[in-house]
Amino acid sequence: MDFSDVYIGMCEKAGFLQKAWEITYGDYYSDRSAVFATRGGGGGISLVDDKVLGDVMNQSFKRSKAVWLPRQDQLQELMNITGPFDIIHMLNEFTATVDDATRGRWTSMEQLMLSAYAHHKHNKQWTGENWT
């Protein structure tokens, strides 16, 4: 699982992704609350557990302070592509449409899958700083 500042930034700036988040037990998120404000921008990595789900139910969970960090399997589900050969085929087609500089930015499968999801579902591309 990618917890890098790069992936957190990609997820944070992907409003389309954050809107798709249906908070589920076992989800990872970056906590942007005041508790972690002194860290170097990355925030704290948290896991949705029973307490968080309780906070969601009683509406005390600060969703605006949380950045969902989807796992690779969750990104695949968002694209409705779960079969291994279907994933390979989709990634081959997707990576053929981007240049070497773009390919060089991806350092994890989560970054690659998020970029593929953004492209296929929202016609967005990661520039290294933002989605365009």
Strands lying side by side in the sheet with 28-31: 44-47, 28-31, 66-68
What letter represents residue 25's amino acid?
Y
Structure confidence at residue 82 (pLDDT): 87
CA 126, CA 117: separation in Å to the nearest integer? 11
Structure confidence at residue 35 (pLDDT): 52
How confident is the prediction along the chain (132 residues), in pLDDT tens digits per residue? 999 999 999 999 999 999 999 999 999 999 987 555 444 555 689 999 999 999 999 999 988 899 999 999 999 999 999 899 999 999 999 999 999 988 999 999 999 999 999 999 999 999 999 999
118 Cβ neighbours under 8 A, 6+ residues apart: 14, 16, 17, 124, 125, 126, 131
If you ran DSSP here, which 8-state letter would residue 21 be given?
Answer: -
Nearest Cα to Cα of residue 109 among 87, 85, 131:
87
Residue ranges of domains in the chain: 5-122
Question: How many Cα neighbours within 13 Å face the side chain of 74?
Answer: 19
Structure confidence at residue 38 (pLDDT): 46
Structure confidence at residue 39 (pLDDT): 47
